[in-house]
Amino acid sequence: MPVFLEISIVLALATLISFVMKYLKQPLIVGYILTGVLAGPYVLNLLQSHETLELFSKLGITILLFIIGIHLSPKIIKELGSTSFLVGLSQIVITSLVGFTIAIFLGIDRIAALYIAIALTLSSTIIILKLISDKGDTHKLYSKLTISLLIIQDVVATFVLLLVSSFSKSVEMNVSNPMSLMLLKVMGLVLGFSIVIKYLLPKMINFASSNQELLFLFSISWGLGTAIAFNILGLSIEVGALIAGIALSTSEFAEEISSRLQPLRDFFIVLFFIFLGASMILDISVSNLVPILVLSLFVLVGNPIILVIIMNLLGYHKKTSFMAGMAIAQISEFSLILATLGMQVGHLSKEVVTLITFVGLITISGSSYFIIHAEKMYPYLKRFLTILEFRKNNKETQPKNKKFDVFLFGFNRSGNDLLKSLKEMQYKIAIVDYDPETTKRLPGNFKNFFFGDASSIEFLDSLPLIKSQLIISTLPDLETNKLLIKYLNKNQSKAVAIIYAHNKNDALDYYDSGADYVVLPHYIGVKHTANLIKKTGINTNSFKRKRSLHLKELAASLLD
C-alpha cells in the first residue's frame, strides 16, 4: 500500500474515533492511541511504513517540546511563590518515592521502576489546561496552584530528559561515567548557547519578524537545528528542541511563534500517539494486568491524596486541595515521551513502555471525568477529606465577637485597591480568604484577617457578619457567592451585599439570589473606555498623558 494512502486511511480512522471521544467527553489523545491500536498489527494491520510514521512522530515530539520550551520562560518561573515551589517539589519527591516503592513491590526491576516512578509523577499540561479552561475555572485559586505545579513538573521533566539523553545503549547505567560526561557536555553547550542567545539570536529574530513567513521558517529551523546540534553532541533530539524553545521564551515574539507552530505540532503529534498505540504489546497476561491496574489506581487515587495532604500541611483549605488533586490524576504526554526515550537508549523494554501507555490511557480517561465533575464529587467526599486534615486551619487573627464595618471576601482579586480606599474612608475592615499566601501580601500593620472557605456554612457562622454594614465579595465562584448572599438574607442581615461577577448571566443570578449590587468589571471597563474616547477623542498626546498617569498609579499600587 502506498505511504500516502496508508497515512490517509489511518488519519480518517483517527477522525472517526476522535468523534466518539468528543461525544464521550474524553481527551482526543486517548482516541489517537486507540487509533494506533486498531491500525496496528493486532487488529487491522494497516501500518506497514513504520520508518515513515516513526519519522513523523519524531517531528511531532520535537515540535511539541519546542513549544513547551517557549512557554517555560525564566520570568514565569521567577513569579512562582515559595509556597508553589514547596507544593510542587514535595509532590514530585513524595509521589516518585511512593511510585518507585510500588513498582519494586510489583517485581519490576530498579531502572524500569525509576522510569515508572517519574512517569507517574508528571501530569498532562495540555489536558489539564484544556479542561480547566472549558469549565471556566482558570481564575480560581486551585487552577492557579495547579498551573504553578505543572510548570515545576515541566522544569523537572526537562532535567530528567537531559539526564536520560546523556546515556546511550552502549553505556551501563552507573553514576560516574554518564554524569561526568553529561556535565562536560552541558558546560560546553551552556557556554556556546550563552554566546548565541545573547549576541546573535535577538538580532536574527528581530530581522525575521519583519516577515511572518520568514519568522515561521526561522523558528522551525532554529528548533530543528538546535535539536540536531544536541544529537551530534550525543544528547537527544528531544532535549535539544526543549532547550531551543527555552532560548526563545524571553523573546517578545514568543507567543506569536508558538501560535504559528501549533497547527504543525497538532498534526505530527497525532501521528506520534498513533505510532505509540501501534507499538503496544496487547498480549497481556494476568501478571501484566495487575501492575497496570495497581499503578493506574495509584495515579487516580494516590496522587490526589498525596497532594491534598501536602497542601493541607501548607495551610490550604480541603476543597482547594481536592480540586487541585483531581486535576493532576493522570500521567503526562511527557511521561510517554520519557518512556519512548528510555526504550531508545536501551533502559526500557517494549513491555514496560506498553505498561506506561496503558496506565496513560486509563488515567487520562478517568481523570477527565474527575476534573469535569469534581464540584459534584466534593460534597460526597468531604467527610473523607476531613480525615486527611492533619493540620487544622485556624488562622483567624481576631476574636469572633469583634465588630467590623466591612467584610472583604477575596483579597487577591482587586482587594488591595479596595482595602486602601475603604481605609481612607475610616471604615473598620476585615478580610476573608482561603489562600495562605494572602497574609504575606497584606499591609504590614493590617491584622484583621480570617482564614477559611466561604463555601462552608460553619465557617460563615464563625464570622461576625450580621453586625457589619457592608459585604464585598470578589470571589470567582458562583455557588459560593450565592451561598453567601442567601446566608445574609436568612440571618436577616442589614449589610449591603456587593458581589463581583464575570458575566451577565452570573450577575442576574446574583440579583435573583438577593444581592444589593453586582459589579461587572468587564462592563465597567468597556464603559470607561468609551467615556475616555468620548472625553479625549482619538488624540495621541492625550492618551500618552493618560498612559503616564496610569503607569504611576500602577507603580504606586505595587509599592503599597
CA atoms of 468 and 496, how far apart (whole Å): 9
Q: How far is CA 357 from CA 162, 252, 281, 336, 361, in A?
A: 22, 37, 10, 7, 6
Are 84 and 125 contained in the same domain?
Answer: yes
pLDDT tens sequence across 481-510: 999 999 998 888 889 999 998 888 899 999
pLDDT tens sequence across 283-314: 766 667 899 999 999 999 999 999 999 998 88
Are 336 and 437 contained in the same domain?
Answer: no
Note the pLDDT of residue 97: 96
Closest CA to 66 of 263, 318, 243: 243
Are 202 and 335 contained in the same domain?
Answer: yes
pLDDT of residue 20 exceeding 90, the answer is yes
Note the pLDDT of residue 24: 87
Are 88 and 156 contained in the same domain?
Answer: yes
- Neighbouring residues of 298: CB distance < 8 A, sequence distance ≥ 6: 98, 99, 102, 120
Query: pLDDT band at 178, cuts 50/70/90?
Result: low
Average pLDDT over residues 10-25: 92
Contact 151, 73 (CB under 8 A): no
DSSP letter for 449, please: E
* Greatest CA separation for the chain: 81
Note the pLDDT of residue 181: 61
Better-scored residue on pLDDT, 185 or 518:
518
Better-scored residue on pLDDT, 187 or 51:
51
In sign, the C-alpha dihedral spanning 391, 394, 395, 397 is negative
Query: pLDDT band at 396, cuts 50/70/90?
Result: very low
437, part of any domain: yes
Note the pLDDT of residue 426: 83
Are 308 and 415 contained in the same domain?
Answer: no
Are 483 and 417 contained in the same domain?
Answer: yes
Closest CA to 103 of 447, 283, 356: 356
Q: Which domain holds residue 495?
A: 406-519
Closest CA to 240 of 313, 309, 341, 316: 341
Are 374 and 254 contained in the same domain?
Answer: yes
Are 152 and 257 contained in the same domain?
Answer: yes
Are 511 and 366 contained in the same domain?
Answer: no
Closest CA to 15 of 1, 35, 30, 33: 35
Domain CATH number, residue 503? 3.40.50.720
Note the pLDDT of residue 40: 87
399, part of any domain: no
pLDDT of residue 536 exceeding 90, the answer is no
Note the pLDDT of residue 180: 58
Note the pLDDT of residue 100: 96
Are 74 and 181 contained in the same domain?
Answer: yes
Better-scored residue on pLDDT, 458 or 338:
338
Note the pLDDT of residue 294: 95
Give the residues across from 497 on adjacent strands.
471
Note the pLDDT of residue 466: 82
pLDDT of residue 399 exceeding 80, the answer is no
pLDDT tens sequence across 68-127: 888 777 666 666 667 778 888 999 999 999 999 999 999 999 999 999 999 999 998 878
CA atoms of 142 and 536, how far apart (whole Å): 41
553, part of any domain: no
Are 348 and 471 contained in the same domain?
Answer: no
pLDDT of residue 437 exceeding 80, the answer is no
Total domain count for the chain? Answer: 2
pLDDT tens sequence across 38-59: 998 888 888 888 788 888 888 8
